[in-house]
């Protein structure tokens, strides 16, 4: 596994201009009546990539997945898989297999029968089918359940049968629709890592649809954040979190404190943002784009990048403001403080509970200072 790990560390075909995408989605639109579920969407997915389509329900992510599987035809645009145009090719002739949210296990067949179903359609020899089924059962650790029917299995076991069934055909691409949606929290966390291991072992391309951002962040190489049939940003989990390209993405992924203002002074990559009604000025040096003074901008900063203290910060160059502690949410591993500034704005600040006991812990209504470094947040224009 060590070699695979180092492979993973250097795996970034999307940065390689020479790399050919394995799945190319080109200007695809899908309309149901007048409603565009997917709207002029383009996306490249590379071989062996673990790709997540992330969005709220109704954002078009499932429709996109169903177009890849062949259950829906694009209204316009085209989809290429391994260089081949998929228009007009029915689901049963595509080199992809899908794992359904409901698992869609055939209730009248045993676990074996379910896994063998796709292989029988290929006309594979009986002995080969048996060998492949045994291999798949071993892969998902269900050897002793081969003769059971789906309703005799627990939720987690059903999920593994569904996985084995669509992996059995050795497809080039595996499409997974909310693969962990029906599992409880503990099982979901375990299964996330099992899925990642499986994807590495088999060297497949995975496209996962999910509404759970933690799931997407944990598993995926890259995430496409979708909204209203469009892709808002495609990037690695870290980039999506730390460098969102828009207010939508910043707000959608994780928690964020969002400020709206105007660029007050622009000099040498440093921007001061005036947050109008509150006479608040935020000093930043995180700007990579060029701005003009007076331009309206947004500023997003994650709660864990904000510190809360009883005294004003010693270094006067950091951003700081005084307020009172309005709410405390204790999560065990961390605590989220809601600090109310004089203007009435609530700032969310998260701090890790790295030590068990604190002398003089912060309490409700305490007067505190929030402060953060000039490079802790991100300036947004969209």
Partner 1 sequence: MNTTWSRFNIASLVLGFAFLYLPIVLLVIYSFNESRLVTVWAGFSTKWYVSLFHNQSFIDAAWVTIRVALVSASVATVLGTLGALAISRYTRFRGRLLFSAMIYAPLVMPEVITGLSMLLLFVAIGFDRGLWTMILAHITFSMCFVAVVVQSRLVSFDRSLEEAAMDLGATPVTTFFRVTLPVILPAVVSGWMLAFTLSLDDLVISSFTSGPGATTLPMRIYSQVRLGVTPEINAACTILIAIVTIGVIIASIANKRREVQRARDEQTAARN
Binding site for partner 1 (CB under 8 A): 69-71, 90-93, 96-98, 100-102, 104, 106-108, 117-118, 121-122, 149, 151-154, 157, 165-166, 169
Contact 313, 320 (CB under 8 A): yes
Beta bridge partners of 308: 370
Q: Which is nearer to partner 1, 45 or 98 (CB)?
A: 98
CB of residue 199 vs partner 1: minimum separation in angstroms? 19
Q: Which is nearer to partner 1, 130 or 242 (CB)?
A: 130
Shortest CB 160 distance to partner 1, Å = 13
Closer CB to partner 1, 101 or 218, in the complex: 101
Which residue has tokens 């709206």?
260
Q: Three-class SS of residue 196?
A: helix
Which residues lie across from 369 on neighbouring strands?
A: 309, 322
Choice between 139 and 334, CB closer to partner 1: 139
Question: Nearer Cβ to partner 1, position 162 or 301?
Answer: 162
Query: Cβ 111 to partner 1, closest distance in Å?
Result: 12
Q: How far is the CB of 108 from partner 1 (least distance, A)?
A: 5
Q: How would you list the strands of the sheet with 96-99, edge to edge?
A: 96-99, 173-177, 205-210, 50-54, 222-227, 230-235
What's the min distance (Å) between Cβ of 179 and partner 1? 14
Q: Based on the number of CB atoms within 10 Å of its own CB, is 242 exposed (0-12), middle (13-18) or buried (19 or more)?
A: middle
Write down the least CB distance from residue 93 to partner 1, Å.
8
Q: Where are the beta strands (DSSP E) in the chain?
A: 23-32, 35-45, 50-54, 76-81, 84-85, 96-99, 173-177, 205-210, 222-227, 230-235, 257-267, 270-275, 280-284, 296-301, 307-309, 319-330, 334-341, 346-352, 367-372, 378-380
C-beta of 136: minimal distance to partner 1 in Å? Answer: 13
Nearer CB in complex with partner 1: 97/284: 97
User: Residue 187 Cβ, how far from partner 1 at the closest point, in Å?
Assistant: 14
Terminal Cα-to-Cα distance of the chain (whole angstroms): 42
Q: Are 163 and 197 in contact (CB under 8 A)?
A: no
> Which residues sit opposite 35 in a β-bridge?
32
* Burial (Cβ within 10 Å: 0-12, 13-18, ≥19) of residue 306: buried
């Amino acid at each position: 596994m060590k070699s695979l790990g180092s492979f993973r560390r250097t795996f970034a075909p999307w940065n390689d201009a020479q790399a050919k995408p394995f799945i190319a989605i080109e200007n695809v639109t899908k309309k149901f009546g007048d409603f565009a579920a997917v709207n002029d969407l383009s996306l490249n997915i590379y071989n062996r990539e673990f790709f997540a389509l992330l969005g709220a329900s109704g954002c078009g992510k499932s429709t996109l997945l169903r177009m890849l599987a062949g259950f829906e035809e694009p209204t316009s645009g085209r989809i290429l898989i391994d260089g081949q145009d998929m228009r007009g090719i029915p689901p049963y002739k595509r080199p992809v297999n899908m794992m359904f949210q409901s698992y869609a296990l055939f209730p009248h067949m045993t676990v074996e029968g379910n896994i063998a179903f796709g292989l029988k359609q290929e006309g594979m020899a009986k002995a080969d089918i048996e060998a492949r089924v045994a291999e798949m059962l071993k892969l998902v650790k269900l050897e002793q359940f081969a003769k059971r029917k789906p309703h005799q299995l627990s939720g987690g076991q059903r999920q593994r049968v569904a996985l084995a069934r669509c992996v059995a055909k050795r497809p080039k691409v595996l499409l997974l629709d909310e693969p962990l949606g029906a599992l409880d929290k503990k099982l979901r966390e375990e299964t996330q890592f099992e899925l990642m291991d499986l994807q590495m072992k088999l060297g497949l391309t995975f496209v996962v649809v999910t509404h759970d951002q933690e799931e997407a962040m944990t598993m995926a190489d890259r995430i496409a954040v979708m909204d209203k049939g469009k892709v808002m940003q495609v990037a690695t989990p870290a980039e999506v979190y730390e460098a969102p390209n828009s207010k939508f993405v910043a707000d959608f992924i994780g928690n964020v404190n969002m400020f709206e203002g105007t660029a007050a002074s622009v000099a040498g990559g440093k921007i001061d943002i005036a947050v109008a009604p509150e006479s608040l000025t935020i000093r930043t040096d995180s700007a990579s784009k060029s701005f003009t003074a007076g331009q309206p901008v947004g500023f997003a900063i994650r709660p864990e990048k904000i510190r809360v203290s009883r005294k004003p910060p010693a270094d006067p160059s950091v951003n700081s403001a005084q307020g009172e502690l309005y709410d405390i949410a204790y999560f065990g591993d961390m605590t989220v403080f809601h600090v109310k500034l004089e203007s009435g704005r609530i700032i969310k600040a998260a701090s890790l509970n790295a030590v068990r006991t604190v002398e003089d812990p912060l309490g409700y209504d305490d007067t505190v200072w929030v402060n953060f470094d000039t490079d802790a947040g991100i300036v947004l224009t969209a």
